[in-house]
């Protein structure tokens, strides 16, 4: 009997099929009682062979609600029993497989007429056709409706007793997805900038910045586009939108006021209460936007926010070789925000050493009843007191005694490329950032590109590298162009050219996200800019640097494919719209003898090595002059 009990306990606690994964997210689920499989032929073949439904769960290791659903449902033995008996359960790390995530997020959006999120829950027939989708689901019946156990039990019962019902739902959705997926090319109107201006005035919150309502996401691609619009049109209302948004974020709770770095998004309209994940892509793309606005305004707040964000990534999210980790969790010690927030009393007691304690508490936005679960997520109010740095050090010391949230040590080519571009941009102000950016880029090329094969990501096991996706090519090409212009090192531009030739493996009749050519690339900017849109920009930039008209035509063709979205929703498809504006207004190249950080106020200017200064387009050269101010005047009145 004892032997049987020991055997039973062993069976109940044995690891599932995720135990040999390199993904931190999958490893977090390796000891669940759910018999998880990674995304694999084995899982789909098992579903077909045993005529089982497929339960697909997509998330990432630093996702708060993914952790909640794991604790409530995937560690629940009753729910695990229902899943193991009736379903083949598949776990996907959306950072490791963004193509798979994109496919099912799009299906969710069509089914529910709203954007999805994580965790994403999808149920499919044994042949892989979707008939059910949701995001977070509580374990049992609640005010939200049926819980996961009730939903799974009901679906399993239908599959056993009335499979035709499920097959019909899946078949109808499949046909709808086929019929709704084709968008015809469309001529792009000449008034796109005016349309963007109108849409922005209607959509943005002039009091707190960002889009109206809550939750609020930084939407870096949209802000980047609006900076272009301001530089092209000089619209003061657009300038106001940008200043309000960037100021409120930099002083708000979405920015870690104590140690630096942006959190993923704000749950409220004031940017005060975030979800506390820190993602590499936000802390690459937001500093880039802030530094662009610093070029225009010389506002020290913008430079400081950018530098503190980059410094946090450099100090805490980087391996010894120079590559950056993907993200950190919102949770520590089982509680969201526990590392980051403070009680009123602990700060009051800590600030007793100051004569102006109340002034300091007001400056950091510390309230008796807090702003997050009775605790305080610091926000900045008013002018800095003279002893601000001393107070900040005390707040940092309090945190140093706490457990820092889990860091996902996965290295992703696309995301590392993003921060290379941001560091190079920062390098125009402080040389140290340029050095760090080039170090990361060189390590990235050495580690993730063999000269024949580009890889997407790995965690600890380099042999477990996953194949590159379109986003890795697009963002790495962008970083290489930026590196060339910062150094005039020909190796960077040659590698960019090489990758620009290799990237066509993702193109058949249309562009795809992956080597398998089974998930189409699209123009939607979700967490960051669409890879196809970035690639269109890359092609135009490389074309002007090399006077390569064929590459210019390829970029133009991608833009034409996105014509429907540019015409109808330019503000909401900002990266392909930016590519169109580059083509429409013209990309210029300026020859200079040695690398310079030149700000002209025109958004689409590339630099290449040559005699200072000659300004050219893809078709002709316009002026050669030793006077840079003459060049700036031409661009100003283009």
Write down which residue in 401, 416, 445 finishes a domain.
401
Assess contact for 520 and 107: CB atoms under 8 A.
no
Residue 187 resides in a domain? no
**What confidence tens digit (pLDDT) does each residue in 382-407 have?**
999 999 999 999 999 999 999 999 99
92 lies in the same domain as 118: yes
Assess contact for 206 and 236: CB atoms under 8 A.
no
- Beta partners for 588? 605
- Beta partners for 589? 606, 616
Q: Domain tally for the chain?
A: 4
**What confidence tens digit (pLDDT) does each residue in 589-611 have?**
999 999 999 999 999 999 999 99
391 lies in the same domain as 280: no
Arithmetic mean of pLDDT, 504-531: 94
367 lies in the same domain as 249: no
573 lies in the same domain as 490: yes
Write down which residue in 565, 585, 605 finishes a domain.
585
Tokens 């002007």 sit on residue: 544
**What confidence tens digit (pLDDT) does each residue in 535-560 have?**
999 999 999 999 999 999 999 999 99
Assess contact for 377 and 314: CB atoms under 8 A.
no
Residue 68 resides in a domain? yes
Assess contact for 615 and 630: CB atoms under 8 A.
no
Among 39-53, 167-181, 348-362, whose mean pLDDT is lowest? 167-181
Rounded distance between C-alpha atoms, residue 95 and residue 526, angstroms: 13
pLDDT bracket for residue 136 (50, 70, 90): very high
C-alpha dist (Å) from residue 395 to 350, 359, 404, 435: 8, 15, 14, 31
432 lies in the same domain as 397: no
- Whether 321 shows a pLDDT value over 50: the answer reads yes
- Whether 42 shows a pLDDT value over 60: the answer reads yes
Confidence (pLDDT) at 14: 58
- Whether 232 shows a pLDDT value over 80: the answer reads yes
At residue 404, the 3 state secondary structure works out as coil
Residue 185 resides in a domain? no
For residue 178 the two structure tokens come to 């086929």
- Whether 87 shows a pLDDT value over 90: the answer reads yes
431 lies in the same domain as 391: no
167 lies in the same domain as 301: no
- Whether 11 shows a pLDDT value over 50: the answer reads no
* Percentage of the residues of the chain whose pLDDT score is greater than 70: 97
Arithmetic mean of pLDDT, 146-170: 95
- Whether 6 shows a pLDDT value over 70: the answer reads no
137 lies in the same domain as 265: no
What is the overall mean pLDDT for the chain? 94
The CB-side HSE value for 121 (13 A sphere, CA atoms) comes to: 17
Residue range(s) defining the domain that contains residue 611: 590-636
149 lies in the same domain as 200: no
Say what angle helices 192-203 and 236-251 make with each other, to 10 degrees. 40
Assess contact for 29 and 58: CB atoms under 8 A.
no
- Whether 8 shows a pLDDT value over 60: the answer reads no
Arithmetic mean of pLDDT, 414-440: 98
147 lies in the same domain as 217: no
- Whether 451 shows a pLDDT value over 90: the answer reads no
CATH number at residue 269: 1.50.10.10
pTM of the model: 0.94
Cβ count near 77 (within 10 Å): 12
580 lies in the same domain as 602: no
Arithmetic mean of pLDDT, 224-245: 98
pLDDT bracket for residue 524 (50, 70, 90): very high
Question: What H or E segment, with its residue span, contains residue 69?
Answer: helix 64-69
**What confidence tens digit (pLDDT) does each residue in 462-484 have?**
787 889 999 999 999 999 999 99
Taking the C-alpha atoms of 440, 446, 451 and 453 in order, what is their torsion angle to the nearest 10 degrees? -80
Among 13-27, 244-258, 332-346, 417-431, whose mean pLDDT is lowest? 13-27
C-alpha dist (Å) from residue 452 to 222, 495, 497: 34, 11, 13
Rounded distance between C-alpha atoms, residue 40 and residue 37, angstroms: 8
């Amino acid at each position: 009997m004892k032997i049987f009990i020991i055997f039973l306990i062993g069976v109940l606690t044995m690891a599932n099929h995720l135990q040999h994964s390199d993904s931190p997210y999958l490893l977090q689920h390796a000891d669940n009682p759910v018999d998880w499989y990674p995304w694999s032929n084995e899982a789909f073949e098992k579903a077909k062979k045993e005529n089982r439904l497929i339960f697909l769960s997509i998330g990432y290791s630093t996702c708060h609600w993914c952790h909640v659903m794991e604790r409530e449902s995937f560690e629940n033995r009753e729910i695990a029993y229902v899943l193991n008996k009736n379903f083949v359960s598949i776990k996907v790390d959306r950072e490791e497989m963004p193509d798979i995530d994109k496919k099912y997020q799009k299906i969710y959006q069509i089914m529910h007429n709203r954007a999805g999120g994580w965790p994403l829950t999808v149920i499919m027939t044994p042949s892989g056709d979707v008939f059910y989708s949701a995001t977070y689901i509580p374990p049992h019946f609640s005010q939200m409706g049926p819980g996961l156990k009730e939903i799974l039990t009901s679906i399993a019962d239908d599959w056993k007793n009335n499979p035709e019902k499920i097959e019909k739902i899946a078949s109808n959705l499949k046909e709808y997805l086929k019929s709704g997926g084709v968008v015809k090319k469309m001529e792009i109107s000449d008034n796109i900038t005016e349309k963007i201006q109108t849409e922005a005035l209607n959509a943005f919150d002039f009091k707190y910045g960002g889009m109206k309502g809550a939750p609020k996401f930084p939407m870096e691609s949209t802000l980047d586009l609006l900076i272009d619009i301001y530089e092209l049109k000089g619209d003061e209302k657009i300038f106001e939108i940008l200043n309000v948004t960037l100021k409120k974020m930099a002083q708000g709770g979405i920015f870690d006021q104590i140690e630096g770095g942006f959190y993923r998004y704000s749950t409220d309209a004031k940017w005060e209460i975030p979800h506390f994940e820190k993602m590499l892509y936000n802390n690459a793309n937001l500093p880039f936007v802030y530094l662009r606005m610093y070029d225009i305004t010389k506002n020290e707040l913008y430079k400081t926010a950018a530098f503190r964000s980059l410094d946090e990534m450099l100090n805490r999210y980087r391996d010894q070789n120079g590559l950056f980790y993907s993200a950190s969790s919102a949770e520590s010690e089982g509680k969201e925000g526990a590392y980051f927030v403070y009680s009123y009393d602990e700060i009051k007691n800590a600030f007793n050493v100051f004569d102006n304690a109340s002034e300091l508490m007001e400056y950091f936005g510390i309230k008796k009843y807090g702003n997050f679960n009775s605790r305080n997520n610091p926000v900045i109010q008013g002018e800095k007191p003279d002893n601000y740095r001393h107070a900040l050090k005390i707040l940092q010391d309090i945190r140093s005694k706490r457990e820092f949230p889990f860091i996902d040590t996965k290295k992703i080519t696309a995301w590392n490329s993003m921060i290379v571009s941001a560091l190079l941009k920062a390098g125009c102000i402080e040389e140290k950032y340029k050095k760090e950016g080039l170090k990361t880029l060189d390590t990235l090329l050495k580690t993730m590109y063999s000269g024949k094969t580009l890889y997407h990501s790995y965690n600890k096991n380099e042999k477990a590298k996953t194949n590159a996706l379109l986003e890795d090519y697009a963002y790495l090409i962008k970083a290489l162009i930026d590196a060339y212009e910062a150094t005039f090192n020909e190796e960077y531009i040659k590698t960019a050219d090489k990758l620009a030739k290799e990237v066509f493996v993702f193109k058949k009749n249309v562009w795809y996200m992956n080597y398998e050519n089974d998930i189409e690339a699209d123009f939607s900017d979700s967490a960051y800019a669409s890879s196809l849109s970035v690639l269109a920009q890359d092609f135009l930039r490389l074309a002007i640097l090399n006077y390569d008209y064929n590459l210019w035509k390829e970029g133009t063709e991608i833009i034409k494919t996105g014509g429907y979205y540019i015409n109808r929703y330019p503000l909401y498809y900002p990266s392909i719209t930016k590519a169109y504006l580059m083509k429409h207004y013209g990309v210029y190249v300026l020859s200079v003898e040695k690398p310079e950080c030149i700000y002209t106020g025109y958004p689409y200017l590339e630099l290449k090595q040559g005699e200072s200064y000659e300004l050219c387009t893809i078709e002709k050269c316009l002026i050669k002059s030793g006077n840079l101010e003459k060049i700036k005047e031409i661009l100003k009145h283009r």
